[in-house]
Amino acid sequence: MADLWQNAMDHAVAAARRAGEVVREALQDDRKVMTKSSSVDLVTQTDQKVEQLIIQSVKEKFPTHRFIGEESVAAGEACVLTDEPTWIIDPIDGTTNFVHAFPFVAVSVGFSVNKQVEFGVVYSCLEDKMFTARRGRGAFCNGEPLQVSQQEDIRQSIIATEFGSSRDTETVDRIFTSLRNIVSIPIHGVRGAGTAAINMCMVASGCVEAYYEIGIHIWDVAAGSLIVSEAGGVLMDVEGGAVDLMSRRIVAANSRTIAESIVKEIDSFSPARDDAPTLGQ
């Protein structure tokens, strides 16, 4: 199977590069913007075009494989992770960035077998950075090995996070309570690229110590989760314990020490799971 999965990963890298070309070309044109769950949950025709490009190319080469795609789920398809080989695709992670030409936009492709991510590909289109990882074989950016930061003092750390697309007052209050708690530790600073995939790749690259968020989706973090762990990092739920990619909650950190320091400060809540029957309906 190792050679087969490597073949699939090579295909994912090639597909992500083609998708990146589509994204860059679209930035030169008018970007028709639509909304999904809220006025700030954006989708463009380019998101849909890129997802179909990737899925179609995979179907031609691996006709028996399954898919979880952000736009497919938004259109009503079930978000179900089985033991079958499954491609988990975010065609444009950072759609709001794309709409505003803010220069962090990623194509994210994770590949799962037996509910375990076997490889992850994140292509930061505008930076031309290709992040890759195979389970047990390390993580890389443009072919160069990645290694998480060795910083163990939360007070000397930079933490990445995002505010999500919900503008519900209670949700916003909890997000800012967590942010206030973490900033007040105190830490060196908070950053956010506007895309979960790139935030996780920054953890893997060692330029931030951790990333946490509540409200992301499996397609945002499937690829990045393996890139973090293969670069020496750890994954954790926001209340501690093992991460569940369907739970829409994650802490990705350079070490368990940093992760646990963050978990202590998070005002946690549980959004509707990605595999809830009503998602996408």
pLDDT per position as a tens digit, 108-129: 999 999 999 999 999 999 999 9
pLDDT at 33: 77
Question: Does residue 70 carry a catalytic annotation?
Answer: yes
Question: Does residue 93 carry a catalytic annotation?
Answer: yes
- Name the phi and psi angles at 273, rounded to 5: -65, 155
Q: Which carries the bigger pLDDT value, residue 74 or residue 179?
A: 179
pLDDT at 235: 98
Q: Is the pLDDT of residue 279 over 50?
A: no
Question: Does residue 95 carry a catalytic annotation?
Answer: yes
The catalytic position among 70, 71, 118, 230 is 70
Question: Does residue 82 carry a catalytic annotation?
Answer: no
Residues facing 174 on adjacent strands: none
Q: Is the pLDDT of residue 30 over 90?
A: no
Neighbours of 82 (CB within 10 A): 12
Q: Is the pLDDT of residue 243 over 50?
A: yes
| pLDDT per residue as tens digits for the range 207-242 | 999 999 999 999 999 999 999 999 999 999 999 999
pLDDT at 31: 67
The contacts of residue 179 (CB under 8 Å, 6+ apart) are 161, 190
The catalytic position among 55, 88, 92, 266 is 92
Distances in whole angstroms, Cα of residue 226 to Cα of each of 8, 24, 158, 181, 221? 16, 26, 21, 28, 9
Question: Does residue 128 carry a catalytic annotation?
Answer: no
The catalytic position among 47, 51, 71, 93 is 93
Residue owning tokens 């160069």 = 144
Q: Would strands 42-44 and 66-69 be described as parallel, antiparallel, or unpaired?
A: unpaired
CB burial readout 181-209, b (16+ within 10 A) else e: ebeeeebbeeebbbbbbbbbbbbbbbebb
The domains found in the chain, sorted by start residue, are 2-145 (3.30.540.10), 154-263 (3.40.190.80)
CA-derived radius of gyration, the chain: 17
The catalytic position among 47, 51, 90, 162 is 90
